[in-house]
Structure 1
Amino acid sequence: MPLYKTITVNEHTKVLIWKIEEEVETLEKDVVLTSNCRERLSHMKSEIHQRGFLSVRHLLKAAGYDARQLYYNDLGRPHLTDGRHISITHSFIFSGIIVSDEPVGIDIEKQREKIGRIADKFVDYEYAFLDKTQVRDLTVVWCIKESLYKLFATEGLSFKDHTRVIPFALKQGKAKAWVKYRSRSEKYRLEFMEFDGFTAAWALEDK
């Protein structure tokens, strides 16, 4: 399948989302796979993970890159060789990337009832406007915090203790959030969307 969605966030930032319907063999075609990519792929026992990994390479291609231009630092954070910023996500049948001139983070999650059972692990301040029965809202909060974690990229950051999502409305598709960690206090702007029972959110610095 071609790209599922392309979102222009601003003139310097783009989100690309892929709906993974192809088999592994199909996804291996028409993309450059480095020896490191092939080694990583060979160690993936789950076909879902293999398809997610390969679909990201198609997203890179759609964004004008190939696998040789993607690398990871010691913390596992992805980078592009031209100095632009990238964040990567995949969940079940969807994968996504965000590419920008500024630091960014992205996450996609399937909306599932079980998120209410684990809410205490990532929700604290947000209980002022949320409850555990709000699957869609809780999924937005999780996606926001995961995207913040990827953007902030600092070891030891806790979703529950160090991130705060300001009250939001689902219909608006936008939110604000803070990361307060040690001596740092940073504000971020978020966008989110829902599709086919999934939620995606992406974070940028609020300058």
Structure 2
Amino acid sequence: MLIRKEHTVSGGLLGIWKMDESRDALLHLFPGHLRAEVMEYVNGVRSDRRAIEWLSTRIMLLDLLGKEQIIRNRDDGSPYLEDERPHISISHTKDYAAIMLHEFRPVGIDIEFRSERVKKIAGKFISDKEFIDPAQKTIHQLLHWSAKESLFKLINEQGIDFRQHLFIHPFTPILKGEIRATETKTDQSSSFSVYYEVHPDYVLTWTTG
């Protein structure tokens, strides 16, 4: 079910889908003339979760744009639309899928289910120079991870090391805000605004080029 559709301050279009339907229920949300083609693809997907993710993102895209668009994948796995516009970024987590679209600018989006597991891998993507609030350690670490995932999708460069090449400037987590981030992988060493939200089930981040 589409639970959110809104335009962002950067001119993008954001969508979030709650994946609470079955595979068959999602299939029946597609227009009749598309259903056979969609069913043919989904029948070849063994994982029920993967099939639901695939169906959810495509029916959400149809809802967001109000017209049919085909999602393709580049050799590195990043998505693009067959018509080449708008730019698209996609993310999945437990029970949710998210899409960001922008007509003129590249985008990156990430949605992460809230979990304590991030503590086990934090040292792999957070550098010693980055600030983590001890009073909000788990959510702060998760926001660092999610923000860097969004940046990774936006920059779309091979060989990015989250700890070495992506720096999150100090911030204190609130329910909704803006993070300043810098990448040092490219010659430009560009800085970005990453917008974030903290929800009971998940955190959400997105950015535009």
Q: Normalising by structure 2, report the TM-score.
A: 0.86
Q: Is the contact made by 2:27 and 2:55 (CA closer than 8 Å) also made in structure 1?
A: yes
Which position in structure 1 is the counterpart of 2:102?
100
Query: Residue by residue, what CA displacement relative to the aligned partner does 1:142-182 show, whole Å, maximum 9, x if unpaired?
Result: 11000111111111111111000111232242111011115
Q: What stretches of structure 2 of length at least 5 have no aligned partner? A: none
Residue aligned with 2:207, SS:
strand
Which residues in structure 2 correspond to 1:187-202 (within 5 Å)?
A: 187-202=191-206
Task: Please tell me whether the aligned partners of residues 132 and 138 of structure 1 are also in contact (alpha carbons under 8 angstroms).
Answer: no
- Give the alignment of 1:31-42 within 5 angstroms: 31=30, 32=34, 38-39=40-41, 41-42=42-43
- Shift of the 11–147 alpha-carbon distance from structure 1 to 2, 3 Å rule, reads closer
Greater alpha carbon shift after TM alignment, 59-68 vs 181-190: 59-68
Is the 8 Å Cα contact of residues 23 and 48 (structure 2) preserved in structure 1? yes
Change (3 A) 1:62 1:83: same
User: What's the CA shift string for 1:48-89, capped at 9, x where partnerless?
Assistant: 222111110111111226665322222222112142210001
- Quote the residue 2:7 is aligned against: 8
Matched, 1:135 2:138: yes
Could you tell me which of 173, 180, 203 is aligned with 1:176?
180
Kindly indicate whether residue 142 of structure 2 is the aligned counterpart of residue 144 of structure 1.
no
Q: Secondary structure at the match of 1:183?
A: coil
How many residue pairs are counted as aligned between the two chains?
203
- Contact kept? 1:33, 1:67, Cα under 8 Å: no
Amino acid of the residue matched to residue 49 of structure 2?
I
Query: Aligned AA for 1:89?
Result: S
Between 192-201 and 67-76, the greater mean CA deviation after superposition = 67-76
1:10–1:121 CA distance, 2 compared to 1 (3 A): same
1:203 and 2:207 are equivalent in the alignment: yes
Q: TM-score, normalised by structure 1?
A: 0.87
Which shows bigger deviation, 100-109 or 194-203?
194-203
Whole-Å separation in 1 of the counterparts to 2:39 and 2:72: 11
